[in-house]
Structure 1
């Protein structure tokens, strides 16, 4: 079933996806793709009223500073010498749902610029409009990142852009607007089908960074089923996840990828095997193939499709094979 059908089930039946506690006046757009929508004019500009970039560091681990395009003094703790992680939520979500990323990077003990992107207002629109908004959000965040590069000394080789669901496409769009110079774009179960009618620069694409990693957990439902990155990972086959039960809506499998990645920040134990498909992997047919860590510690030199199994509960990583 397509992304939109699954989202309707989740919202009406399971309530898996969280709704933002506040909703700004959302942006309006004309829909494209598979769903009809009333024709309305697109906004000409998306700015700080629609998107907020919250900066956390070891200096301010709980109280964010705001990264602004027009005011560098609002984020004095940003250090261009440190690696930067830009994390972007998906549809009908907000930056509060990304605090696990913040906490894991802080707990790792290294000095990161952790920037959580909140586009909860534009993301609260109906799906076709939110897809249009996602492009505009990517445009704006791309402007901010380019400002960090040009005016504050951010090294693109130190930049990793991470996005979940619709946010996976926003991450790709930001990467495109930075000229594909970011070290990595990581798409966590990127949204299926609804961006397919967009030009490549307005959806997740392998050219969006020097290395594009995709983790598939609900392929063919909420998420894209096919390999589109330099390295694609398919935990438990990439469709239905251990610990999610029957998961008729697919919402659990779609969202559990957030937990996988957060755990990978402090663990290299998500060991995946290069293989042509999950059945062959499960039968041991690829046991002599290359093994790599999924997530935060994936080497940029790898390519292909990788498979692994996870535990049904935390800790999810099994880590049975030496890298």
Structure 2
């Protein structure tokens, strides 16, 4: 039996597990003040005092082993709540996204991965129910990190199959494992999942995907050699440690900073990384990373950032930043390489 066939058997065995119950949280004024509803019964939530029908709605969700009180979740929710311009919802699938007793690699394949598709489709059903109850889908913007980005891809694809379309999905470094390469057994977030799909790639070739799959694909500090962000440590680190996830986390960090300053991250359009390097001037801002992204744009966009917060280099970020990069050391075994979300 081929290795790919073995991983497919592992995955489909995982499908037969029963997922836990996912939830939607609606925040009112602060991250500590929220209303909760079952994902299967969203209407009471949308009729609560935390939901304003006149405002657009952001729905955020985390990835594998994410938490409702995790650093990404807390930072993104706080940033959107602070704008006071949107309804802010969290898709809580913490129980379905955990690794459990199986450990990190097998927990991903056998539990979280099949659950991401199931929960994504359940969210699609919930949003359609809200639409039928008078809440226009044109007001929704879905944002997901890592495996959560693909979960929202399932949501968008499911809604499109049922005759509607989500206007925008933002993918924050969508997960690579099982969605790309020799072991790919899933079709994740791509430009068919919504009217406009923007993807921020911060750790391509490691935890994140390497392919341009959105309407707009943004590549901060892109490097074809290591896929690492400036300021992040090279070499081997404990799996899912802060050091290990540093570059993978940079996508949501840039988004959060962009919410405080919408023009913080201008980007340069280029057909390839090599074309970006070869350009000797950047007189025009092609689009911005974040909420001010040009929804009429399409293609690949590049920028450089600082190594630490504040990450914005302003217009200087349109120029490639040359730096010495430390190559990420390869995994030591085949199963680790492909089940370590690499």
Scaled to the shorter chain, the TM-score interval is: 0.7 to 0.9
State yes or no: 1:270 paired with 2:254. no
Asked if 2 retains the 8 angstrom alpha-carbon contact of 1:34 and 1:194, the reply is: no
Question: 2: CA distance between counterparts of 1:142 and 1:57?
Answer: 23
CA distance in structure 1 between the aligned counterparts of 2:228 and 2:14, rounded to whole angstroms: 39
Does residue 294 of the first structure (1) align with residue 289 of the second (2)? yes
Q: Determine the C-alpha separation between the residues in 2 that align with 1:229 and 1:312.
A: 26
For the residue of structure 1 that corresponds to 2:282, the secondary structure is coil
2:165 is aligned with 1:181: yes
**TM-score calculated relative to the size of structure 2:** 0.76
After superposition, residues 217-296 of structure 1 pair within 5 angstroms as 217-237=202-222, 239-246=227-234, 248=236, 250-267=244-261, 268-285=263-280, 287-288=282-283, 290-296=285-291
Q: How does 1:74-153 map to 2 (within 5 A)?
A: 74=45, 76=48, 77-97=50-70, 98-110=73-85, 112-125=86-99, 126-129=107-110, 130-151=112-133, 153=134
* Structure 2 CA distance for partners of 1:45 and 1:80, relative to 1, 3 Å: farther
Structure 1 residues 38 and 218: CA distance shift in structure 2, 3 A = closer
Aligned match of 2:35 in 65, 89, 109?
A: 65
Aligned residue number for residue 14 of structure 1? none
Change (3 A) 1:81 1:172: same
Q: Compared with structure 1, are the counterparts of its residues 248 and 256 closer, same or farther at alpha carbon in structure 2 (3 Å cutoff)? A: farther
Match of 1:4 in 2: none
> Would the aligned equivalents of 1:88 and 1:162 in 2 still touch at CA under 8 Å?
yes
Residues 70, 39 of structure 1: CA spacing in aligned structure 2 closer, same or farther, 3 A cutoff? closer
Question: Alpha carbon RMSD of aligned pairs, Å?
Answer: 2.7
Cα 1:248–1:235 shift into 2, 3 Å = farther
* Structure 2, unpaired ranges of 5+: 100-106, 238-243, 319-342
Q: Gaps spanning 5+ residues in structure 1: where?
A: 1-30
Aligned equivalents of 1:173, 1:38: Cα separation in 2: 17
Q: Would you say how many aligned residue pairs link Structure 1 and Structure 2? A: 286
Question: Normalized against structure 1, the TM-score is what?
Answer: 0.80
Contact 1:45 1:136 in 2 (8 A): no
